[in-house]
């Protein structure tokens, strides 16, 4: 299968390209850049791929993408696909969009949280939210790949919310990400001197993943009213941890929590429940795994859940490939890394 990537020069796009190169069903990857007036050796644009990389970065051309490929992945910044994807939607051409432009069903919500014009309301309704362990992309042509914080948080929340184990207005999420989550663009927050040997909270009560998480949570339990969600920048490049706190519903104990996680994820290869052995970033970074630990504290009647992912793999390119595998009925593990970066 020939696949197209728009945005290979970005962090999510370059990782996605690297993963697709080893996908058994992918015969050719065509790369398109918006800054290119003529074909450019990929190595010049992304030196990490090395001087022997022969692939060319082609000028962006929607017609050429649809003529020469069977699916397109957009690994582009927020606010790009709300317009750029329109010809592909009109042509019902398969799209896997790693940005947030088509995740929120309500255009007013998108404009409130992203501060950008929303995509067409019908296109938003038709888009499939690709949380791979709970949704199936087969039969859909537009996949809105979830964000990294949303992925880690939703996988950590699902058993608790779906099985009504919590006090519904008690959710607190303290999520922390490495700087690669911000992409390659430099900001004062991600400047080395600011990030190194520091911890910085940002987006307090304004993070765009709040509506994304709530939208999916309320499909599981509409009575969950809100969640307190904070994000912190870690002085690491890659890795994301969502630490979740919730009051236990009456009669819930540690055994009930463990059973809920084991039952929920027993058939999901890429989600590993680690019980009371709380996971660390290094046991998932480099892989497509989500590791989740949970501990119930009877003294405070509080459930603690820790969910960790590689933000650019499971949080972006890896989950995009899970959706690709679902769309085309490929082996669910095809093209996905199962080994971590050592030491
Ligand atoms: N980083 C992460 O951990 C995660 C990122 N995402 C999402 O994935 C997307 C990419 O993120 P990330 O790789 O971190 O971001 P980067 O800023 O690193 O890369 C952005 C990419 O978009 C391209 N781009 C920018 N403007 C345009 C345009 N007008 N037309 C076409 N392409 C354009 C850039 O090209 P150029 O190099 O030419 O500027 C670059 O390839 C974002 O929507 C992000 O929110 C989702 C989950 C996790
Ligand atoms: C550290 C950092 O800046 N992280 C990014 C995560 C972006 C992401 O997950 O992508 P989407 O924009 O596609 O949701 C943030 O907090 O916005």
Instruction: Ligand 1, residue 13: give the atom nearest the CA.
Output: 13
For the chain, the domain total comes to 2
Neighbours of 318 (CB within 10 A): 27
The pair phi, psi for residue 202, each rounded to 5°, is -155, 165
342 within domain boundaries: no
Q: How many CA within 13 A on the CB side of residue 160?
A: 32
140 within domain boundaries: no
pLDDT of 35: 86
324 within domain boundaries: no
320 within domain boundaries: no
Element (H, E) at 16: helix 11-20
Same domain, residue pair 153 and 296: yes
Same domain, residue pair 104 and 253: no
**What's the pTM?**
0.98
pLDDT of 36: 85
User: Of 77, 111, 126, which marks where a domain is finished?
Assistant: 126
User: Of 92, 126, 160, which marks where a domain is finished?
Assistant: 126
Which residue in 74, 45, 73 sits closest to 57, CA to CA?
A: 45
Same domain, residue pair 97 and 180: no
* Residues in the ligand 1 pocket, defined by CB under 6 Å: 6-7, 9-13, 33-35, 75-78, 80, 98-100, 147-148, 180-181, 183-185, 311-312, 315-316
Neighbours of 250 (CB within 10 A): 6
Q: How many residues does the chain have?
A: 343
The answer to whether 14 touches 46, Cβ cutoff 8 Å, is yes
Instruction: Ligand 2, residue 145: give the atom nearest the CA.
Output: 13
Which residue has the least CA distance to atom 17 on ligand 1? 183
pLDDT of 311: 98
Same domain, residue pair 96 and 217: no
Pairing of strands 200-202, 228-233: antiparallel
Same domain, residue pair 170 and 268: yes
Same domain, residue pair 19 and 52: yes
- Give the CATH number of the domain where residue 64 resides: 3.40.50.720
The answer to whether 95 touches 137, Cβ cutoff 8 Å, is no
Instruction: Ligand 2, residue 315: give the atom nearest the CA.
Output: 9
Question: Ligand 1 pocket check: which of 97, 147, 183 to mutate, most ligand atoms within 8 Å of Cβ?
Answer: 183
Same domain, residue pair 305 and 232: yes
Cα 323 to ligand 1 centre (Å): 19
Strand order from edge to edge, sheet including 56-59: 40-41, 56-59, 28-33, 2-6, 71-74, 95-97, 142-144, 128-129
Q: How far apart are the first and last CA of the chain?
A: 35
pLDDT tens digits for 248-307?
A: 999 999 999 999 999 999 999 999 999 999 999 999 999 999 999 999 999 999 999 999
Which residue in 308, 281, 284, 282 sits closest to 294, CA to CA?
A: 308
* Spatial distance between the Cα atoms of 105 and 118, rounded to a whole number of angstroms: 10
Element (H, E) at 82: helix 81-84
In which residue are the tokens 């706190």 written? 245
Same domain, residue pair 193 and 84: no
- Give the CATH number of the domain where residue 301 resides: 3.30.360.10
Same domain, residue pair 181 and 115: no
- In sign, the C-alpha dihedral spanning 91, 97, 326, 263 is negative
227 within domain boundaries: yes
Cα 136 to ligand 2 centre (Å): 23
Same domain, residue pair 73 and 157: no
Domain that holds residue 237: 149-311
135 within domain boundaries: no
ipTM: 0.98
30 within domain boundaries: yes
* Residues in the ligand 2 pocket, defined by CB under 6 Å: 78, 99-100, 147-149, 177, 181-182, 203, 209, 231, 233
Residues of the chain with pLDDT under 70: none
Cα 147 to ligand 2 centre (Å): 7
Minimum-distance ligand to the CA of 238? Answer: 1
- Sheet strands (E) in the chain: 2-6, 28-33, 40-41, 56-59, 71-74, 95-97, 128-129, 142-144, 172-177, 200-202, 228-233, 240-247, 271-273, 290-297, 302-309
Cα 68 to ligand 2 centre (Å): 31
pLDDT of 98: 99
Structure letter (DSSP) for residue 315: I
User: Of 93, 126, 159, which marks where a domain is finished?
Assistant: 126
Same domain, residue pair 161 and 259: yes
Same domain, residue pair 175 and 296: yes
Can you spell out the DSSP letters for 241-265?
Answer: EEEEEEEBPTT--HHHHHHHHHHHH
259 within domain boundaries: yes
């Amino acid at each position: 299968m020939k696949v197209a990537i728009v945005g290979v020069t970005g962090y999510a796009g370059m990782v996605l390209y690297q993963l697709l190169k080893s996908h058994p069903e992918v015969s050719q990857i065509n790369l398109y850049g918006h800054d290119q007036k003529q074909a450019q050796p990929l190595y010049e644009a992304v030196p990490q791929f090395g001087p022997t990389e022969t692939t060319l970065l082609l000028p962006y051309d929607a017609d050429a993408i649809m003529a020469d490929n069977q699916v397109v992945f957009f690994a582009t910044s927020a606010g790009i696909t709300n317009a750029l994807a329109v010809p592909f939607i009109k042509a019902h051409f398969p799209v896997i969009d790693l940005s947030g432009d088509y995740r929120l069903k309500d255009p007013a919500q998108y404009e409130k949280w992203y501060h950008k014009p929303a995509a067409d309301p019908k296109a938003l309704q038709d888009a499939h939210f690709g949380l791979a362990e709970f949704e199936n992309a087969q039969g859909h042509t537009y996949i809105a790949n979830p964000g990294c914080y949303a992925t880690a948080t939703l996988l950590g929340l699902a058993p608790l919310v779906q099985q009504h184990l919590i006090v519904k207005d008690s959710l607190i999420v303290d999520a922390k990400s490495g700087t690669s989550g911000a992409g390659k663009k430099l900001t004062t927050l991600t400047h080395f001197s600011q990030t190194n040997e520091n911890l910085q909270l940002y987006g307090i009560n304004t993070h765009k993943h709040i509506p994304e998480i709530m939208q999916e949570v309320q499909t599981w339990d509409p009575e969950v009213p809100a969640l307190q969600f904070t994000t912190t920048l870690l002085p690491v490049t890659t890795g994301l941890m969502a630490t979740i706190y919730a009051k236990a519903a009456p009669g819930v104990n540690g055994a009930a929590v463990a059973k809920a996680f084991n039952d929920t994820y027993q058939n999901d290869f890429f989600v590993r429940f680690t019980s009371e052995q709380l996971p660390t970033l290094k046991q998932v970074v480099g892989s497509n795994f989500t590791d989740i630990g949970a501990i119930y504290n009877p003294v405070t009647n509080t459930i603690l859940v820790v969910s960790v992912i590689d933000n650019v793999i499971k949080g972006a390119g890896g989950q995009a490939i899970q959706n690709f595998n679902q769309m085309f009925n490929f082996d669910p593990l095809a093209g996905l890394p199962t080994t971590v970066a050592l030491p």
